[in-house]
Amino acid sequence: MEISLILKLSQLYFTFSFLQVTRCVFFVFAFGLVGCLKAMENRPYHHLPDGGFRNPEGSPERSASTKWSYWVFNREKKKLDMKIGEGHAVEVQKVLERLGQSQGEDYVLWIGHATFLMKLGDTTLITDPFFSQNAGPFLFGPKRYVQPAIPLNKLPKVDLVLLTHNHYDHLDLPSLTKFPSKESKVLVPLGLSRYFVKRDFKDVSELDWYENVQIDKDLKITFLPAVHWSKRTLIDTNKTLWGSFLIQHKGKKIFFSCDTGYGPIYKKLGDSYGPIDLTFINIGAYDFRPMFDHSVYHTTPEEALMVARDLNSSKVIGMHWGTVVLSLEPIMEPPIRFKKFAGNYNFQTEDAIVMPIGGLELFSQLLR
């Protein structure tokens, strides 16, 4: 009698305990689900549930008919006239002399492609440092046809590195490995710090769109959206972020654009952050015919002018051309179209600026 009572009580106890555990599991699951839904609700548009990223709302998208062919690209590339325009590149010795003479000034020097060295007060910064011979893994990828304006080991001390995205012509790992100023501060999009940390950079910060960093009392950097994408391998498309940098120095605003296509985001950025004094933007890598008509992720020279106009920019410098063949437009065409059509977008011809590789401009002239 006593034993059967004990058995019954134990049965009741276990049933009760089981119900309690089930209830607990249910509550934990329900709270977790609500938490997840809440997090999804609060997630910015450009963050995807799988941890990847996408362009701002309303941006153009690559059409399904866009077909890249390595074979067609190489066949068409061979037809390009590779004659470099006169005065397109300044001799290294002359660049080094001019750089030495300009150390007391604020300046910008075009090293090639999207790589610019800028001095702003006490800070010397470099954008997307690409010094390699190829824009690709190992010795693959398009070969550069104009050498960097100065070799990597002749760079002055760099305090700040700004990286826009992970494509090989921007995130150039051999340049990072040999980079002479590892103590410099580095600002990168979400997901890209590991490349720098692995190469012994000491001060690396990842930024999401609209985040900013005050470098010193005169210099503030804000990371902003661009219409582009990211990829380095077969399995990492859009897994890391991309974006542009707004550089604010002593009341002046410089917009350093990531590779970008045209999109409605630029009117919004112009309203929120404009007027801009000077915009750097891609004017090359737009023509991929006969594979497809138009790149939605790189502006034509005219679209670059539209972006600069939407940002309410006083002046605009064309970059990302004249260094390495990434597309099929004639290699010296981008600056011609850029200057020719400047007036259609409310720019004086002299305010649509084309620099030679190795050209150095003083900010006291550019930011007047």
Binding site for Fe ion (CB under 5 A): 167, 259
Return d(Cα 195, Cα 189) in angstroms, integer: 12
- Contact residues for 314 (Cβ-Cβ < 8 A; gap 6+): 275, 276, 277, 278, 351
Q: CB atoms < 10 A from the CB of 30, how many?
A: 10
Q: CB atoms < 10 A from the CB of 364, how many?
A: 10
Q: CB atoms < 10 A from the CB of 104, how many?
A: 7
Closest approach of Fe ion to the CB of residue 308, in Å: 19
Closest approach of Fe ion to the CB of residue 237, in Å: 12
What H or E segment, with its residue span, contains residue 8?
Answer: helix 2-42
107 vs 297, which CB is nearer to Fe ion?
297
259 vs 303, which CB is nearer to Fe ion?
259
119 vs 167, which CB is nearer to Fe ion?
167
Sign of CA dihedral 364, 223, 146, 327: negative
Counting Cα atoms < 13 Å in the Cβ hemisphere of 35 gives 6
Closest approach of Fe ion to the CB of residue 197, in Å: 22
Closest approach of Fe ion to the CB of residue 219, in Å: 26
Counting Cα atoms < 13 Å in the Cβ hemisphere of 128 gives 29
The single-letter DSSP state of residue 349 is G
144 vs 253, which CB is nearer to Fe ion?
144
324 vs 352, which CB is nearer to Fe ion?
324
Closest approach of Fe ion to the CB of residue 31, in Å: 42
Tokens of 94: 């002359």
Peptide linkage before 275 cis (omega within 30 of 0): yes
- Contact residues for 3 (Cβ-Cβ < 8 A; gap 6+): none
Q: CB atoms < 10 A from the CB of 296, how many?
A: 22
59 vs 312, which CB is nearer to Fe ion?
59
Return d(Cα 21, Cα 31) in angstroms, integer: 15
What SS3 class is residue 85? coil
206 vs 259, which CB is nearer to Fe ion?
259
70 vs 153, which CB is nearer to Fe ion?
70
Closest approach of Fe ion to the CB of residue 365, in Å: 30
CA 133 to chain CA centroid, nearest Å: 20
144 and 89 in contact (C-beta within 8 Å)? no
68 and 289 in contact (C-beta within 8 Å)? no
Closest approach of Fe ion to the CB of residue 143, in Å: 17
Closest approach of Fe ion to the CB of residue 168, in Å: 9
284 vs 359, which CB is nearer to Fe ion?
284
363 and 117 in contact (C-beta within 8 Å)? no
167 vs 309, which CB is nearer to Fe ion?
167
Closest approach of Fe ion to the CB of residue 47, in Å: 20
Q: At residue 59, what is the residue type?
A: S
Closest approach of Fe ion to the CB of residue 346, in Å: 28
